[in-house]
A and B are shown apart, each in its own frame.
Chain A
């Protein structure tokens, strides 16, 4: 083991050490680790993953090819990046550009998983697009400071929201001081999806599809939902959760869960009412009453009554590895209209019959958590009038609504959308009066409303949800107190945008 040392060799070793560390720390492709990364990392849970990246064709300064003002339309924050959606989007832009000479619409389509960071980078670089969308409330929250208040431009152009419920128009007042940051385009009320086969097997009547109807002669409220869900929760011996012989360690079918994909308490509890984690002073963290009531009910549903699956059960093969309702082993799931995307069982199983029921009364009131999509204009746009003109064409486009699978905010256009969904479920009669009725009960303030330091606050809310879904015997009130303190520290951070 003789060794000798010399200056150059020592230098070389030092250089190589620094180089290895620098290269390794600076790159994800230099090594293939046994326990670390490969560069193929995209998030498994991210919505609408795609590999889209379409940048607009370079347009010389001045008017576009049709002689109109160039308006950049950024797609990627929500729907619109699936391969099947790109053709119709391009067709819309082409037709629109050909139909008039005031505006030239230029598309910029980026991968959904990267869109927020790309847009942030464009904001920093001062190369922002004019229009963003379709985008939901979550996406708007990330760019709240950048969004243009459309109120003056709406007033000056005399634009009217024909066919849209005034409550839904108000819903889009999501900016600072209730600034209207989007034009109503698509809305997704929530209600209960139920598996008719499981109800039939249990010889139980279906839940109500009309507001005010009773269930088994009793009000359709939380107690009725709990009792029904327990009857539909079955162990491997066939005992339901109301039976003394029920074995909670061997459940094979569950009664209820929330299909809201946010994975946070504020979303799953939203049918308990509305409220904000931010007090009226705009600084103080609070736990809204609907969350206190909701989490107590959900926690008991998971760990005491066992009709709601815990985290492991929800991720198990019995519940489709997270696709709970589609697994056919969940009787009721509260979800939005967009959830029709995800009710199919894995092939080769055939689609089971399912129906829609209204949300139950909670303290005498119905609440239907609402998701919505819109198009927004950025403050930095130098062509705001032209951008608004393009936005009005977008929200009026039946073709775009169909492409995005979006339930129109304009009631006069909803029938066509219902038919397009019905076509996906031949032989199943869906009662579209349920989502239409639920539109009258939106949660205002919305469960996705902006919070200071939004992304970090959302992470804390999701961590809370994960904890109670994985930990039996938690003191929910104590945990909510901790959550409030955590949120307050997040709100207080100096760099919160």
Chain B
């Protein structure tokens, strides 16, 4: 037996304790990289090319309507963005919307997940299906329904508000109310986040709840002290994805106004501005530069979120 152990140790020197692949966590990291490898290779081969091309494009004044006149302009496109009111407005609109939409989406999706996870809820599976169902509806079709729902003249929402004696705002034509209106439309599609939260809730060990209940903890305390900490990696993931998609916000805004950004450019989100510049106005070089601005902003925000979460997210086994 001792000889066999010595033989194994002799034949696997690089995997021994104290070497690069020595600890369990490192081994897991390597295996993780191996598993994620094919996807990373695909990303490099299939996405890196267009990424680099767009970076090069952003240094030119390439215009689809006049392709022969393309010139290298260095950082002119990036400098032009600094004084472009549409880019400024696009960023402001996106941030305003994000401030409303991200917390609302996170709270609502977690709330609904808790609801449909409750054993006291009759017909849980039906509710889970119902809350998830809007995801299956094409966003353009859904948006057209919402336009009717939010119409101040004949829409149901203002009709309901009127019944309870509240004045209904002009949801889609007011620079103030358009963001809550868009966040409301967004709530229709929280199904995916709800599902991820639900999976997270179901992975919390029940014995922790039982132990805390014996200790006299109430539902709120258990939610705050057990559910939220154990759910924190899931919540972080949801926040990151939600933030990214918020900065990519496009389809609803485009459908609502046919890409015009009404009212008064309040829905001219940065991604819509990018689309208009590149594909409607054919300014591919400038559009690519806006794309890179968007990329850098999203990357910085994502890294910021990870840094913020470093000491606030609980990973079982100490994984980060």
Contacts and interface: CB of A to CB of B under 8 A. Distances in A.
Interface of A: 1-6, 8-9, 12-13, 15-28, 31-38, 40-45, 117, 120-121, 123-124, 142-143, 145, 263, 311-313, 315-318, 321, 453, 455-456, 459, 462-463, 466-467, 470-471, 494-495, 497
Interface string B282-313: 11011000010011001100110010001100
A456 B182 CA distance: 25
Q: Which secondary structure characterizes the binding site on chain B?
A: helix
Given A4-B25, A44-B143, A117-B64, 7 more contacts: A1-B314, A8-B29, A8-B30, A13-B320, A35-B185, A44-B140, A467-B264
Contact of A36 (B30, B249, B260): B249
A356 to B, nearest CB: 29
A103 B305 CA distance: 64
Contacts of A263: 258
A323 to B, nearest CB: 12
B165 to A, nearest CB: 17
Contacts of B210: none
Given A18-B299, A31-B245, A37 B63 contact: no
Interface stretch (B5-13, B43-51, B121-129): B43-51
Interface of B: 23, 25-26, 29-30, 32-33, 36, 39-40, 43, 47, 50-51, 61, 63-67, 101, 105, 109, 135, 138-140, 143-144, 147-148, 151-155, 170, 173, 182-183, 185-187, 189-193, 229, 240-242, 244-246, 248-252, 254-255, 257-265, 276, 279-283, 285-286, 291, 294-295, 298-299, 302-303, 306, 310-311, 314-315, 318-320
Nearest to A309: B153
Contact of A21 (B36, B66, B147, B299): B299
Contacts of B32: 12
A31 to B, nearest CB: 5
A24 B33 contact: no
B262 A459 contact: no
A33 B151 CA distance: 24
A456 B192 contact: no
B140 A35 contact: no
A471 B175 CA distance: 11
A406 B152 CA distance: 38
Contacts of B279: 117
A464 to B, nearest CB: 10
Nearest to A251: B153
6 contacts: A3-B318, A12-B32, A35-B246, A41-B251, A142-B65, A497-B66
Contacts of B265: 463
Contacts of B153: 312-313, 316, 318
A42 B258 CA distance: 10
B258 A45 contact: yes
A470 B263 contact: yes
B143 A36 contact: no
Max count, chain A CB within 10 A of own CB: residue among B43, B257, B260, B280: B260
A75 B279 CA distance: 20
Shortest 8 CB-CB contacts between residues of A and residues of B: A35-B186, A33-B245, A36-B245, A497-B65, A316-B153, A470-B173, A120-B64, A8-B29
